[in-house]
Amino acid sequence: MLFNSLEFAIFLPLVFVLYWAFFAEKIKSRNIFFIVVSYIFYGWWDWRFLFLIIISSFVDYYVGNKIVASKSKKSKSYFLMLSIFVNLGFLMFFKYFNFFIDNFHDAFSFFGMQFNKRTLNIVLPVGISFYTFQTMSYSIDVYREKLKPTKDIFSFFAYVSFFPQLVAGPIERAVNLLPQFYKPHKFNYSEAADGMRQILWGFFKKIVIADNAAVFVNDIFSNYTDYNGSTLLIGGFFFAFQIYGDFSGYSDIAIGTARLFGFKLMRNFAFPYFSRDIAEFWRRWHISLSSWFKDYLYIPLGGSRGTKAKIIRNTFIIFVVSGFWHGANWTFIAWGAINAMYFIPVSLRKKNRKNIDVVAKGKILPNIKEIFQIGFTFFITIIAWVFFRADSIKMAFDYLKRVFSKSLLSAPHIGYSFDIGQVVPIYMVFLLIFILVFVEWFQRDKQHGLEFSEKTKPIVRYAAYFIVLFLIVLFGNFSKTEFIYFAF
């Protein structure tokens, strides 16, 4: 079920009323209720893939208790490997099977060896990369003795399938989310009201920013050979805001929805395009995934300790694996490798923890140096995004080659030869992006764009809500476009 659908507009209020009327203070009934509504939410897409969530949930529930019950470290390791094998096994089969078959075939063909290539018509289950990582981290934390396993199977199944973040995150840790299923909840008006504001801002980013930018992005990238360098640069710029508006918009809706039910999910985005270096960007972009790889891959490999060669190795591994997590295409691996090359000089000079605080804290505008740093970081991020969006590595290089040609100095133009129906004009998309950046700049020390303190005058708050609603109604793309990260 899509957040930006009529079905969800009916589903959410109904679940909200039933929850607070009958289930909020009854722990067992509440958790069963969440399992049922979450399975309905997920099964609305394709009920057949519910069995993957059920199997993954049962395996890690079983593994967690078996790890604690085991007497020897060898036995504990065996059960941990069972969790990793099942979760990564599902992920590798559904997401990467055909990728490996195709590449093995190409490799053998290169050396003159032929074999019959057999690929399968595999449908990628929505959200599989998210919930498998979430369940697997539970088993790892139990193995590391950072978390006691739960005996309450309903709490665990509810934790895994919790519908606000089931499909596209944030990738929650059991230490944060699971205990929230152990206790009754009481309605908190201020939390729920701020949750609604966060949902509203998420819809603005998705429907107004991402989906309108996508119309031009899709045309430019699909017909990039027809456009000059300045237009292609606009395509990269728009895609940067499309993917940000789409994914961070989903996270805002998910976090805000969870708050309506008294649950607190981890923050997933912290205004990443205001970052002053690439290390700061990765602390602010898809925080739940970045921190997951840091805790469960980068640090176990040695992190930033040891020789420079090991630091470079570990950095490449975490970024390449992160890229591969996004999809079975060499473009994602290249995107990860490019970000690794951005990150390594910062890490080797031990500057990766330099910009921790909010940029220009306590000031209205950044200084000249900060403007340059933000602009440069955003620019190199766009270059990397071209690889993420392109169909192939060859296309990405060709696209960038055309960007940095003499035609970059030519006036941009956007073709309308494709059937797009009614489209928001390109100048208006620029203006809407400016509004997004303007609001988030002045809210950069907050959790989201519409967060207000108690000192804020009601007239200011309600004016902001009205303006955002007005922009959604007037400029929103209501074509029920899927979220980009559903594909991951």
Q: List the catalytic residues.
A: 326
Cis amide bond preceding 366, omega within 30: no
Report the distance separating Cα 466 and Cα 460, nearest Å. 10
Report the distance separating Cα 34 and Cα 26, nearest Å. 12
Report the distance separating Cα 215 and Cα 4, nearest Å. 17
Residue holding tokens 């990039």? Answer: 224
DSSP 412: P
User: For residue 54, how far is the Cα from the chain centroid?
Assistant: 23
User: For residue 414, how far is the Cα from the chain centroid?
Assistant: 29
For 393, the token pair is 């590595």
30 SS3 class: helix
Cis amide bond preceding 170, omega within 30: yes
Number of alpha carbons in the 13 Å side-chain half-sphere of residue 177: 31
- Listed in sequence order, the DSSP H helices in 204-297 are 211-222, 229-260, 278-284, 287-293
DSSP per-residue letters across 309-356? HHHHHHHHHHHHHHHHHH-SSHHHHHHHHHHHHHHHHHHHTT-TTS--
- Listed in sequence order, the DSSP H helices in 349-425 are 368-389, 393-403
122 SS3 class: coil
Report the distance separating Cα 420 and Cα 84, nearest Å. 45
